[in-house]
Chains A and B, each alone.
Chain A
Amino acid sequence: MQSTNAMTKHVVYNDEVVRAFSIATIVWSVVGLLLGVIVAAQLSFWQANLDTSWLSFGRLRPLHTNAAIFAFVGNMMFAGIYYSTQRLLKARLASDTLSWIHFWGYQLIIVAAAITLPAGLTQGKEYAELIWPIDLAVVVVWVVFAVNFFWTLGIRNERNLYVAIWFYIATIVTIAVLYIVNNLAVPTGLLHSYSLYFGVQDALVQWWYGHNAVAFFLTTPILGIMYYFLPKAAERPVYSYRLSIVHFWTLVFIYIWAGPHHLLNTSLPEWAQTLGMVFSLMLWAPSWGGMLNGLFTLRGAWDKLRTDPVIKFYVVAVTFYGMSTFEGPLLSIKSVNALGHYTDWIIGHVHGGTLGWNGFMAAGMLYWLVPRLWGTKLASIKLADAHFWIGTFGILLYVVSMWISGVSQGLFWQALDGEGFLKYPDFIVGLEGSKIMYHTRLFGGILYLAGFLLMAVNLTQTIRAGKAAKVEFDTPALVPSGPGFFQLLFSPPVVLSAVVILGSIALGMAGVLTGIVVLVLLEVIVVAMVLAYGARKKGMNWHDMLEGHPLAFSVLVLVAILIGGMVELIPTVIVNRNIPVQNAVEHTGVANAFANAPDEYDYVQQPYSPLEVSGRDIFVREGCYTCHSQQIRPFRDETLRYGEPSTLLESRYDTPFQWGSKRTGPDLARVGGKYPNSWHYLHMRNPRDTSPGSNMPNYAHMIDGTVDFTVTEARMRILRKLGVPYTDEDIERAIDLATSQGRLIADDLATAEIDVTPDAEIVALIAYLQRLGRGPQPVAPEALDLTKVEGK
């Protein structure tokens, strides 16, 4: 079928850049895992924070996740993609220059992240913490990667695109969309910005991104790598090419809808939660189809499991993929999520995927790839076997300990006594009960890291023993043939699918038949599949033709992922601007908001004062959201423990939103007024003074640190541009108002014999914490209505 003429091409693969990415993978794997061990140690032993701001858990945890995901898995992904793409297309990478810009640009981004995140420079959104200049660099490097990749597709010498290439296309297209949309922000300076989204908008966009970062950064490219490297290692063709077609399209279409399952039982609108849950359940089918396709590829080669470490790593990796993709949908069932969310169960689930699936796929790929790239044998199979067993044992210790800890936490938090009140009202008691599991997790993490250190030694010896291999050969040049771009794009399967999808969305958006939309959209998959196989033309089926046309293929992938994204995001973004405000009171100024408040809870939707803005920025800087949620779910145990369920209104001026995803410490949504200012001061200085048994770091550096209120003023101007209704007076008097509110708090602290300046960071943070879940607080002495204060 391949159309060729008499011309042949001489091809020399660019494996230099593959070697570079492979070495980077080895280096960053150790760094990312070491950071994981450090943050695990900090949760076991608070002293491991070393009383140093830039080494505290809240700052290192984002560094660990970014290093593991983007540095370790990212470099592994690029090595695998560049190696396999050249061979599957029988073509050298299109541009050496772009390849090296990609490599060095990406390494510089990682180094920049390693400097900025411990420094507290963060956007405060999970897996999207990098500040805006680095975000721009990421976009530039990703574009370079995309141009290089698609350019290579254009000069290929193999007509059809193999399934691995489809997954790479989906990765490149989708990550670009996700990253740009989620990171839209307005800079307030060189190192800080505010997200364009507020409250529930930000929550939904963030978890649409966060979930699909897992899907399209940690899953689809690795599946592509699986579809290439597993057959290579097993020396068998992929079990079912047909199944891979079903696997690919179903996964790509469904995955993008599942983001809201990170926000179940929150104040996210019910319809979005239900969509997220249902589509998550549907993910079971394609995920397991892919897993079985991977495992069955080993048919007739299972004997290698005894002798070949590469196969061992792949089998366990694919098994963990199956386990994680079973557990994910399970946790997306609302009732299960009610138990598991905010607990260590989620941590166990995530690490089953990253350590088991990503880590072991990386190890398997490197053990196979490095000897070939350097034209030698693996230095030691025994060492690789040792890595396998140590790593497997480490994962099991990690995951099982987190399961036990997580389920225990969920049950502990929910437990009610015979009269319907909290059986365990003291949060710390539960934390102390988890300590043994935290120690076990730490041990498991150390074992896993030790395995990778063995790998680093083994592969270093392999590289030193070998010599960079060069692969060159002659291949027939490809002459383009088949239907054109528009012919394919407007072929019956696409047109019919588009009509059905648009019709379904129109029905659903009318607000009448939302449930039916879900139904019909799913049927689209069926119709498209049936047509894809039914529309045969001159011996070629429709999908066969599509595989020969990268542009049409990429456009359809883009359409597939945009449908789910648009259906969920657009209504939320639009609706949030029109949330009906109960007891609405127009904002007439920060200075008099407190004095005018007939009831403080009517004023929950009022903007933060300048000092509270500063305090919130500090809260975000320190990564408090990594351990504290700000979202009370509508369950009896939560309302008893934390107060009334959270509402959309309460976070409508929150950018970035701080709903959180984990409760190592208690929820803070209504912590305002729960404790006196002095309690917060003592708690921040040393949490053990007020909460014996706490594993929270000391934040004594906030006592000496001061806030520059001129910066606050500038940031308030940006917030007003983004839609926060600050008055001219609010902004012009921002410095005075912040200072006066700080003085009120400092004076209050002085009554407890605590000496602190009004512009101290600790004062700003206290102001913010005292505002959470409450209306405006006293800001300026002249606006202070003493009667009301006494009344409150």
Chain B
Amino acid sequence: MYKEFYAHSDLMIWPLVGLAIFVLSFIGVLAYVFFGLRKSREMDRMASLPLDDDTGVIPTGDDDRE
């Protein structure tokens, strides 16, 4: 099946090479983002933003749990 689709075109190798490089690059970016960046207090604040609003926590339990 593979040969049926790719045997007749030289260009068809490029998307596969591109995919391989994309995956490697993507892993590189992930590594950079997670290990190369300084800790940012602002980033931590933003990550917690949904918890920093007015709603508070209203218990969702009811009496039928028991």
> A: which residues have CB within 8 A of B?
1, 13, 84, 87-88, 90, 158, 160, 162-164, 227-229, 231-232, 235-238, 240-243, 245-246, 250, 270, 274-275, 277-278, 281-282, 285, 289, 307-310, 334-335, 338, 367-368, 371-372, 375-382, 471, 473, 513-516, 518-519, 522-523, 525-526, 529-530, 533, 540-541, 544, 547
Contacts and interface: CB of A to CB of B under 8 A. Distances in A.
B33 interface: yes
Contact of A381 (B13, B48, B65): B65
Interface in B14-44: 14-19, 21-23, 25-26, 28-30, 32-34, 36-37, 40, 42-44
A514 B14 contact: yes
Interface string B28-66: 111011101100101110111111011101111110110
Contact of B62 (A87, A231, A377): A377
Interface string B1-14: 11001000101111
B62 A514 contact: no
Contacts, number: 159
A515 B15 contact: yes
B47 A237 contact: yes
Contacts of A380: 62, 64
B53 A544 contact: no
B60 A367 contact: yes
A250 B33 contact: no
A304 to B, nearest CB: 10
A367 B61 CA distance: 11
B51 A241 contact: no
A381 B62 contact: yes
A518 B29 CA distance: 18
A64 to B, nearest CB: 32
A574 to B, nearest CB: 20
Contacts of A334: 5
Given A235-B57, A471-B54, A246 B29 contact: yes
B5 to A, nearest CB: 5
Nearest to A88: B49
26 contacts: A87-B54, A88-B50, A232-B55, A235-B51, A237-B47, A240-B34, A241-B43, A278-B16, A282-B23, A285-B22, A308-B60, A309-B60, A334-B5, A372-B58, A378-B60, A379-B62, A380-B64, A381-B61, A381-B64, A515-B14, A515-B17, A519-B18, A523-B21, A526-B29, A533-B36, A544-B43
A470 B65 CA distance: 28
Contacts of A285: 22-23, 26
B29 A242 contact: no
A519 B13 contact: no
A462 B61 CA distance: 12
Contacts of A473: 54
Contact of A519 (B14, B29, B65): B14
Nearest to B36: A533
Given A285-B23, A367-B60, 9 more contacts: A13-B54, A88-B49, A162-B50, A285-B22, A376-B58, A519-B21, A526-B28, A530-B29, A533-B36
B21 A522 contact: yes
A242 B48 contact: no
A90 B47 contact: no
A371 B49 CA distance: 21
Contacts of B53: 87-88, 90
Top 10 A-B residue pairs of the complex, sorted by shortest distance between their CB atoms: A515-B14, A87-B53, A241-B47, A519-B18, A278-B15, A237-B48, A518-B18, A237-B47, A522-B22, A335-B1
Most buried by B among A164, A235, A376, A533: A533
B64 A471 contact: no
Interface of B: 1-2, 5, 9, 11-19, 21-23, 25-26, 28-30, 32-34, 36-37, 40, 42-44, 46-51, 53-55, 57-62, 64-65
Contacts of B30: 243, 246, 289
A335 B2 CA distance: 7
Given A88-B50, A228-B50, A379-B62, A525 B25 contact: yes
A2 to B, nearest CB: 9
B16 to A, nearest CB: 8
Contacts of B36: 533
Contacts of B37: 242, 533
A651 B54 CA distance: 58
Most buried by A among B22, B44, B51, B64: B22
Contacts of A375: 58
Contact of B13 (A235, A377, A378, A515): A515
Contacts of A378: 60-62
A216 B30 CA distance: 24
Contacts of A522: 18, 21-22, 25
A278 B11 contact: no
Contacts of A367: 60
Contacts of A236: 51
A550 to B, nearest CB: 15
A241 B21 CA distance: 25
A381 B60 contact: yes
B62 A84 contact: no
A403 B60 CA distance: 37
A611 to B, nearest CB: 40
A378 B58 CA distance: 10
A792 to B, nearest CB: 34
A230 to B, nearest CB: 9
B55 A518 contact: no
B14 A516 contact: yes
A377 B55 contact: no
B59 A515 contact: no
Given A160-B46, A519-B18, A529 B60 contact: no
A238 B47 contact: yes
Nearest to A379: B62
Contact of B64 (A237, A372, A382, A526): A382
Nearest to B59: A377
Given A241-B47, A335-B1, A515 B18 contact: yes
B33 A533 contact: yes
B58 to A, nearest CB: 6
Given A308-B60, A380-B62, A471 B55 contact: yes
A88 B32 CA distance: 28
Contacts of A13: 54
B8 to A, nearest CB: 10
Contacts of B49: 88, 158, 162
Contacts of A229: 50
Nearest to A367: B60
A243 B48 CA distance: 14
Contacts of A241: 43-44, 46-47
A319 B19 CA distance: 25
